Amino acid sequence: MTGVRSLMICAAASLRRDFLFRWSYKFSFLYDIGALFSSLIALYFTDRMLADAPPRSVAAYGTDYFTFALVGVAFLDYMFVSMRSFAQQIRFAQFTGTLEAMLATPTHPFIIILSQAAWPYLWTTIRAALYLVLGAAVFGADLSGVNPLSAALFLVLMVVTFAGVGLTSAALTLYLKQSDPITALVGGVSFLFGGIVYPVESLPAPLQDIAWVLPMTHAVEGLRRAFLSGAAPLDLLDHALPMMAWAAVSFVLAFVVLRQVMKALSREGSFGAY
């Protein structure tokens, strides 16, 4: 319980800090909303282009291309936020000279790093909700058959899986004093092969085999079936189980890497270096 309480306190402080920082640059909020509208419009006109002859792989979901792609794009940011935010916040703390002070507190470093993504996750959730609401209300996406429990399950699994990757990246950033290239590689491969804006079935057969190894593919497929066909959690076990395995591996890896990094930095006395 002490760990949970510490995480909540650290997350609340981090949320307040980052909100005040972002609010001081109000134009960034307008930019994010504008980018959201532009991507929705792009998906809408792509759907109009395909309306006369929708691809069979999309029609198999019982919906149009706009709704198919909307679900993938709406939750894409969770992957990037999970992988990038922890390392970015650590790098920022290194440059501003606050990292050493934070790590000198009695709070476990894992909790400190984990709490740094409170604002990015909140803002991503607001953006995802806007995507879905505007997609349905303005552009006519049919999301009436959503199964909320299945959607919540796969969203949590997606966040936990990629947060493990992001925490590993943050640990490496602590030691290397620069961002690692792993997250960019994982993010790029996941976007290309994860079935976000086109079905996995449209890929060549060898690439489909690669796609179904990736956690992003199972996350998007689970979310899509939860939103478009109202599939129950038990009906999605074939996608949930690989996600659970990835989540367990990624978090264990993050904890082990962080522990080794903290030992190395303690020996070298280089916490304050950047």
Task: For residue range 208-226, list pLDDT tens digits in order.
Answer: 999 999 999 999 999 999 9
Q: Which residues of 131-148 are buried (b: 16+ CB within 10 A; e: fewer)?
A: bbebbeeeeebebeebbe
Q: Which residues of 74-95 are buried (b: 16+ CB within 10 A; e: fewer)?
A: bbbbbbbbbbbbbbbbbbebbe
Q: Tens digit of pLDDT for each residue in 143-186?
A: 988 999 999 999 999 999 998 888 888 888 777 776 666 778 88
The predicted model gives 26-44 an average pLDDT of: 88
Output 30 or 235, whichever has higher pLDDT: 235
* Global pTM value: 0.85
Going from N- to C-terminal start, the domains of the chain cover: 2-268
Angle, CA 192 vertex, CA 189 and CA 196 arms, to 5°: 120
Q: Which residues of 204-235 are buried (b: 16+ CB within 10 A; e: fewer)?
A: eeeebeebeebbbbbbbbbbbbbbbeebebeb
SS3 content of the chain, % helix, strand, coil (to 5): 80, 0, 20
Average pLDDT, the chain: 86
The predicted model gives 8-14 an average pLDDT of: 84
Has residue 246 got a pLDDT over 60?
yes
Q: 66 near 47, Cβ under 8 Å?
A: yes
